[in-house]
Amino acid sequence: MTMINNELHSISVLIVDGNIDAREETQAMLARFGVGSDSYGGFAKAMDMIRLHHARRQNYDLILVDRTLTEKDGMELIRETRALLGEDTTVIIMTANDDINGETDANRAGADAFMAKPFTAENILQVFHQAKNHRKSLKSESPSVSELDGKRILVAEDMTVNAEIVKQLLSINCMEVDHAKNGKEAVDLFTKSPAGYYDAVLMDVRMPVMDGLVATKTIRSSNHPNAKSIPIIALTTNYFDEDVQRSLEAGMNAHLEKPVEPEQIYRTLAELIGKH
């Protein structure tokens, strides 16, 4: 009991199950050990929340997915989750039906484990740790912050003090910085730059002349060779779900809340530039 309390209380969990009774039962079971969880019955809403958490760089530690969902099945949710998150989240598929091929299908989709209902918190804890340790042993090295040396970052920020703070944070890790005072300046600097000149854009959302959302949409729709691939990261005080959703819809890759922790900026830049 003590081990469960110590180990489970700190993890973030998403439960995706079309059966509302089963969903609520799993939530209640975890809550008894101090584990909060998000819970959804359908594919679309669950994927929306996975994307929102990822944009904030706050990925779920554990996702429990029922094989049978509305719209698309659980296997498809796992495949899309893996495509988005890579190996950073443990995913367990659940089923109430006898299925001799279920575990094989789950593994092919990218699940870490296959669990038959009913199960207990002890079962979840054991499987979670086994899967997490196994994935850790297979996981490739994370992008190194040292790889940011010499990268050129375009910072769009209308507040001089905020811009200076970000410039100093980036310069500490030997990055080159260009500063745009509003969204229009950011668009002009980017679209007039040669291919590969900028490695990423840090974009404030609320700016005069042109805001960050419009600027991002303009960059994405431009004819610049890197328009579709350049990582664009929102830095903003607007942090509700609807704010994150608007950033993603505009074409941003991540949405970080001000004041941003330096290590979070470095990790996010390293990850996105590594994929670029």
Tell which phi-psi region holds residue 72, choosing left (phi > 0), alpha (psi between -120 and 50) or beta: beta
Find the helix or strand (DSSP H, E) in which 137 lies: helix 121-138
pLDDT surpasses 70 at 161? yes
Tokens of 205: 């959302």
Find the helix or strand (DSSP H, E) in which 76 lies: helix 74-85
Which pLDDT does position 104 carry in this prediction? 79
Looking at the chain, the whole-number percentage of residues with pLDDT higher than 90 is 64
Location of structure tokens 């059966």: 19
Exposure string of 151-178, with b = 16+ CB inside 10 Å and e = fewer, is bebbbbbbeeeebebbbebbeebebebb
Do 233 and 123 have their domain in common?
A: no
Which pLDDT does position 8 carry in this prediction? 61
pLDDT 10s digits, 86-119: 888 999 998 876 665 667 778 888 898 888 888 8
pLDDT surpasses 50 at 3? no
pLDDT surpasses 50 at 50? yes
Inter-residue contact 213 to 193 (CB < 8 Å): no
Do 102 and 209 have their domain in common?
A: no
What's the whole-number mean pLDDT along residues 64-69? 88
Do 85 and 11 have their domain in common?
A: yes
End residue of a domain, out of 137, 160, 188: 137
Do 170 and 265 have their domain in common?
A: yes
Question: Average pLDDT of the chain?
Answer: 89
Neighbours of 15 (CB within 10 A): 23
- Maximum average pLDDT range among 2-6, 29-33, 70-74, 239-243: 239-243
Q: In CATH, what number is assigned to the domain containing residue 237?
A: 3.40.50.2300
Q: How far is Cα of residue 118 from the mean position of the Cα atoms in its chain?
A: 30
pLDDT 10s digits, 200-218: 999 999 999 999 999 999 9
Which pLDDT does position 1 carry in this prediction? 46
Close Cβ partners of 99 (under 8 Å, ≥ 6 residues apart): 67, 105
End residue of a domain, out of 137, 160, 190: 137
Do 190 and 219 have their domain in common?
A: yes
DSSP code string of 113-178: EEEESS--HHHHHHHHHHHHHHHHHHPPPPPPGGGGTT-EEEEE-S-HHHHHHHHHHHHHTT-EEE
Find the helix or strand (DSSP H, E) in which 195 lies: none
Label the pairing between strands 13-16 and 37-40. parallel
End residue of a domain, out of 89, 115, 137: 137
Q: How confident is the model at residue 5 (pLDDT cuts 50, 70, 90)?
A: low
Tokens of 270: 């390293």
- Rounded-to-integer distance, Cα 204 and Cα 207, Å: 7
Neighbours of 68 (CB within 10 A): 14
pLDDT surpasses 90 at 246? yes
- Quote the domain boundaries for residue 109: 2-137
**Angstrom distances, CA of residue 229 to CA of 47, 54, 149, 215, 274:** 22, 18, 20, 15, 12
Domain count, the chain: 2
Inter-residue contact 55 to 244 (CB < 8 Å): yes
Which pLDDT does position 132 carry in this prediction? 77
Range list of H helices, 194-240: 212-220
Least confident range from 67-71, 161-165, 239-243, 268-272: namely 67-71
